Amino acid sequence: MPHLREAQMRHVPFSYVYPSPARAWYLVILLTTAYVFSFVDKYLPALLIEPIKHDLGASDTQMGLLLGPAFAVLYATLGLPLGWLADRTRRTTLVAAGVALWSLATAVSGLARNFSHLIFARVGVGVGDAALAPCALSLISSSFPPAKRGRPVALYIAAQSFGAGLAMLGGAVVLVWAGTRTSISLPVVGSVAPWQLAFLVMGLPGLLIALLLYIAREPQREPSATGDVSIGTTLRWLRERWRTFGSLAAVVCVMTIVAYSQNWYAALFQRQWGWDITRYATWSGLALIIVGPLVVNTTGWWCDRLLGRGRPDGPLSMVIGGTVLLLPPGILAPLMPTGELAFGIWLINLCGLSMVSAAAPVALLAITPGEMRGQMSALFYMVIMLAGLVIGPLAVGLFNDQLFAGEHLNLACALVPVVVGVPGLALLGYARQHYARETATDSPA
């Protein structure tokens, strides 16, 4: 029976029916829009460091906690249990609840009257955001056959740079408008500062996306042909290959730590070179929207070419190249005499960061069996996100307060890539050696 054999080759029962293309793409657009808003809500506090510090009397160490650990701990660790829940409940309802929670928590950040209130709100943003990734990737898989998933997944991933850029540009617009007014008085809420208004304006629109996701039709689940693989089985398999995956994760952690340490760059450009918030937000927002997606898509295309040419270590080579590229400009940019020169050097750093971001998941999936890819991806991203969000922003604040008496943010920003880059570079050869050994012995589905 040809139709049965064809269905088996797709690893789904022949009775499985995918949604219509229009309904499938509508869902992808909703999920991508939600992902954009999630990055807006993640990056907005980085733009507002200086006014928040001024109004709430926070130290740089406290701001480091706000930018990283307050959001990261539950965001990273809830991924696995929420992924388990996504396999057993209505996914559109779960992701709608997550979007609604982080949108409300972002808006509530605009009502904070002290630093403790703001920390509590950021924890809520992390909890809500944790629901998106496991639900989104599952919904996309259920909406498209395997041979047609590349474009929708690429569109969804591109939201990272767009969201970060939109946070900068949108926040700048709100702050410029707010700066033309002597006072901002809102119904019920009362008087608010410009930074508080930015949280309110950027947070509340997410509630509409949550409503649209809640009423969206849930696609039929696509059963696995191989059956479920328990987390215990996956961990036993991983234990035998911990050097390969551990070294890969450690190298990628260099990227995430450097990237999230740059949440301080809005404050750096203000303190060091006198840029106002709107100037930095406009320049960095445009760079993130234009340069980020261009490098990400080029890297993905080049990884495919290397693999097609019989280079199984091709994606790792791109990870290594991006790591080598991002470190020198990451160290040098904060030390430049002018903001314009620093920004130009940072663009090179952004290219390296984008290369690693795009190539790392390809390198991971290339050495992971098909039936374990979901769990391995969750574990991998839990490790690199915890490292990046906890260490990166907090290290800058601690370095500046403890080593430089709060007076040299530029030195604190430059020190982070030095501290993580030296061991990271030392690991590159080790990672390549074990990765080559894995690609020579394993042939994942």
Please check the confidence at residue 102 and state whether its pLDDT lies above 50. yes
pLDDT digits (tens, 9 = 90+) for 232-250: 777 888 888 888 899 999 9
pLDDT digits (tens, 9 = 90+) for 283-300: 998 998 888 888 887 887
DSSP 400-425: IIIISTTS-HHHHHHHHHHHHHHHHH
What are the chain's domains?
16-218 (1.20.1250.20), 232-445 (1.20.1250.20)
Distances (CA, A) of 428 to 238, 316, 433: 20, 10, 9
What integer best gives the mean pLDDT of the chain? Answer: 82
pLDDT digits (tens, 9 = 90+) for 351-376: 999 889 888 877 887 787 756 666 67
Using CA of residue 329, residue 330, residue 332, residue 337, what is the dihedral sign?
Answer: positive
Identify the residue whose tokens are 């030392």: 426
pLDDT of residue 10: 41
362 vs 225 pLDDT, higher one: 362
Which range scores top for mean pLDDT: 80-84, 246-250, 306-310?
246-250
| Contacts within 8 Å (CB) and 24+ apart, 298-301 | 299/354, 299/355, 299/358, 299/359, 300/154, 300/358, 300/359, 300/362
User: Are 262 and 389 contacting, i.e. CB atoms less than 8 angstroms apart?
Assistant: no
Q: What pTM does this model have? A: 0.75
Of 86-95, 143-152, 270-279, 334-343, the range with the lowest mean pLDDT is 143-152
Q: How confident is the model at residue 162 (pLDDT cuts 50, 70, 90)?
A: confident
Please check the confidence at residue 4 and state whether its pLDDT lies above 60. no
User: Are 47 and 40 contacting, i.e. CB atoms less than 8 angstroms apart?
Assistant: no
103 vs 238 pLDDT, higher one: 103
pLDDT of residue 148: 64
pLDDT digits (tens, 9 = 90+) for 394-439: 899 889 988 888 889 999 999 999 999 888 888 898 988 888 888 7
Of the chain, the percentage scoring pLDDT greater than 70 comes to: 88
pLDDT of residue 256: 93
Of the chain, the percentage scoring pLDDT greater than 90 comes to: 25
